[in-house]
């Protein structure tokens, strides 16, 4: 079971250090924290497994504002999220660029949490399966069922909205994704201590990607504890 916290654009080094200082994750669950770039070194130094929130496909070059996989490795960062829906929605990320980032990160020895998921409109118009299929296939066709690849199923309508997929809906989507590529699948979308148990208990839910609730030590710890309990 893997619980990953996506801090989005919250917490600079000082707040990251305060979080790390107070955070005591339980045994029996893999925990990853994904801070903004500026706080990566702080979280690495605190001894927490650290992933970036994005990574470029080139090793170096004229790509202003970007960071490469080898630079992340040099810092002690162990992986990266790619294709988060906020990158897809606000920064022009496409299935093609997500696949390129995934290839580069895996080739550099990093782990990857690749995000997929349908928008509300796609969900309501019955296009969920085709959208998720195309997103997953583009990653699978680029890297296969790589041992350091994890998919996060994050229905866009559930991210930061307080709405969650029902446990049955999450289970169905995860089983579908695993029929396309046999890798662990995390659920993401308003996971909090109150709903973690029912979501993480589903047989094809291998963990969670947690946004808002990962910013507060108490709620992130509670989700990690639930995962450890279910795992045991």
The residues of the shown chain that bind ligand PEP, judged by CB under 6 A, are 6, 8, 154, 159-160, 188-191, 209-213
How far apart are CB 76 and ligand PEP at their closest, in Å? 23
How far apart are CB 190 and ligand PEP at their closest, in Å? 4
Task: Pick between residue 61 and residue 122 the one whose CB is nearest to ligand PEP.
Answer: 122
d(CA 180, CA 171): 14
What is the separation, in whole angstroms, between the first and last Cα of the chain?
A: 10
Contacts of 71 (CB under 8 A, 6+ apart): none
Task: Pick between residue 7 and residue 23 the one whose CB is nearest to ligand PEP.
Answer: 7
Task: Pick between residue 138 and residue 214 the one whose CB is nearest to ligand PEP.
Answer: 214
| Active site residue ranges | 84, 154
d(CA 148, CA 16): 26
Residue nearest to ligand PEP (CB): 211
CB atoms near residue 162 (< 10 Å): 9
Task: Pick between residue 6 and residue 221 the one whose CB is nearest to ligand PEP.
Answer: 6
Contacts of 85 (CB under 8 A, 6+ apart): 115, 117, 154, 156, 159
How far apart are CB 74 and ligand PEP at their closest, in Å? 26
Q: Which of 163, 229, 212 is nearest to 9 (CA)?
A: 212
- Cα 143 to Cα 135, 140, 150, 183, 195, distances in angstroms: 13, 5, 12, 11, 33
Task: Pick between residue 208 and residue 228 the one whose CB is nearest to ligand PEP.
Answer: 208
d(CA 11, CA 58): 27
How far apart are CB 53 and ligand PEP at their closest, in Å? 9
How far apart are CB 62 and ligand PEP at their closest, in Å? 30
């Amino acid at each position: 079971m893997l619980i990953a916290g996506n801090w989005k654009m919250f917490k600079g080094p000082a707040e990251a250090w305060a979080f790390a200082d107070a955070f005591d994750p339980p045994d029996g669950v893999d925990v990853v924290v994904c801070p903004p770039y500026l706080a990566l070194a702080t979280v690495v130094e605190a001894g927490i497994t650290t992933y970036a929130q994005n990574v470029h496909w080139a090793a170096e070059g004229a790509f202003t504002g970007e960071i490469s996989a080898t630079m992340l490795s040099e810092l002690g960062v162990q992986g990266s999220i790619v294709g988060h829906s906020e990158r897809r929605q606000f920064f022009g990320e496409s299935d093609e660029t997500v696949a390129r980032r995934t290839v580069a990160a895996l080739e550099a020895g990093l782990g990857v949490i690749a995000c997929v998921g349908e928008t509300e409109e796609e969900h309501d118009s019955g296009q969920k399966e085709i959208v998720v299929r195309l997103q997953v296939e583009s990653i699978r066709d680029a890297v296969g069922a790589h041992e350091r690849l994890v998919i996060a199923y994050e229905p866009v309508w559930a991210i930061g909205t307080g709405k969650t997929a029902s446990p049955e809906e999450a289970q169905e989507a995860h089983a579908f994704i695993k029929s396309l590529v046999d890798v662990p699948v995390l659920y993401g979308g308003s996971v909090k201590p109150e709903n973690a148990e029912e979501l993480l208990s589903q047989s094809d839910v291998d963990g969670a990607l947690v946004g808002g609730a990962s910013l507060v030590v108490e709620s992130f710890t509670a989700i990690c504890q639930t995962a450890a309990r279910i795992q045991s």
